[in-house]
Amino acid sequence: MTLDRFYPIFDHSDWLRRMLPLGIKLVQLRVKDQPMDVVRDQIAKSRDLCRANGTVLVVNDYWQAAIDAGCDWVHLGQEDLDEADLTAIRKAGLKLGVSTHDDDELERVLAMDPDYVALGPVYPTILKKMKWQQQGLPRVTEWKARVGDTLLVGIGGMSVERAPGVLQAGADIVSVVTDITLNTDPEARLRQWIEVTR
């Protein structure tokens, strides 16, 4: 299975409407702290935008809503895994990406045969408070050796400048949030991302 090496994450379908036409082929919708009707609406809008643009949509967390909306991918964090019905997710034909931060989490996740494993934070991140220190590039190389043919996503503190090193270290895909969304010119930054990852 191949996925694009550039994997931006956005929190609203408005971002997708704005950015997908620039050539994104893989994107995550990560809606946080919204009522369920808003979540479902965001998933449906994002699904339609991605289909129109030939983009793979990964829905963060809301696996049941993703199934209901006929989506193809879901991403689960470690906490989400405790509540998620993996049998239902697989039965619905959804592909699965999972976050990992340490050895125990990786062992747990590999037993689930995920379609990708995300390792983070590779670099310090401003996005969320984490108990984990930055993992660093040697860890990316080690993780890739351990996951084998499973796709490895590097996430956390990513920038255009850091992306090539993370890919060289062994990541198949680089995921990014704030380097685009907090940029003064998100479109220009996104074009730079596409350039360095393809």
Q: Supply the CATH number for residue 83's domain.
A: 3.20.20.70
Helices (H) and strands (E) counted in the chain, each on its own, are 10, 8
In a domain, 136, yes or no: yes
In a domain, 63, yes or no: yes
State how far the Cα of 186 lies from the Cα of 198, in Å rounded to an integer: 18
In a domain, 179, yes or no: yes
pLDDT at 131 over 90: no
Q: Predicted confidence band at 72 (pLDDT cuts at 50, 70, 90)?
A: very high
In a domain, 123, yes or no: yes
In a domain, 55, yes or no: yes
Tokens of 111: 């037993």
- Which residue range(s) make up the domain with 79? 6-197
In a domain, 135, yes or no: yes
Q: What is the pLDDT of residues 27-68, one digit of tens each?
A: 999 999 999 999 999 999 999 999 999 999 999 999 999 999
Q: What is the pLDDT of residues 144-153, one digit of tens each?
A: 999 999 999 9
In a domain, 192, yes or no: yes
Q: Residues 68, 44: contact at Cβ < 8 Å?
A: no
Q: Which pTM does this prediction carry?
A: 0.96
E strands, the chain, in order: 6-10, 26-29, 56-60, 73-76, 95-100, 116-119, 151-155, 173-176
In a domain, 1, yes or no: no
The number of folded domains in the chain is: 1
Mean pLDDT of the chain: 95
